[in-house]
C-alpha cells in the first residue's frame, strides 16, 4: 500500500475517516510533494514526502500524519486510479 501512496496519487476519503478526522465524505485529495524540517540530532535538514497542504495550519500534512506511520488509519479511504 505504501508504494501506491506517492506524489500524484488521488485518495477518496471514506465516511468513517471523514467523521473521525474532519474531512468531507467522498472528498478526493491529491498527494503532492511536501517539505518538512527533520532534526537528526546533529543538524536540521529539509526532507520531502507525499503530503497535502493544510490551509488552516499553513503547513504540509504528510501521508504519515494523515494515515499513521504504518497506514493503520487509512480506514475506509480508497486509492482512485
Mind listing the pLDDT tens digit for each residue in 2-34?
668 999 999 999 999 999 999 999 999 999 999
The torsion defined by the Cα of 27, 31, 36 and 38, in degrees rounded to 10, comes to 110
The torsion defined by the Cα of 37, 38, 39 and 44, in degrees rounded to 10, comes to -50
Cβ contacts of 55 within 8 Å, gap of 6 or more: none
For residue 29, list its beta bridge partners: 11
Give the model's pLDDT for residue 3. 67
Residue 77's closest CA among 29, 8, 6? 29
Amino acid at each position: 500500500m505504501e508504494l501506491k501512496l506517492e506524489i500524484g496519487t488521488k485518495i477518496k476519503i471514506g465516511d468513517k475517516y471523514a467523521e473521525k478526522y474532519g474531512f468531507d465524505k467522498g472528498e478526493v485529495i491529491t498527494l503532492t510533494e511536501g517539505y518538512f524540517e527533520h532534526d537528526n540530532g546533529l543538524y536540521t535538514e529539509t526532507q520531502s514526502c507525499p503530503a497535502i497542504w493544510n490551509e488552516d495550519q499553513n503547513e504540509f500534512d504528510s501521508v504519515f500524519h494523515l494515515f499513521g506511520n504504518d497506514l493503520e488509519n487509512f480506514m475506509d479511504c480508497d486509492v482512485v486510479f
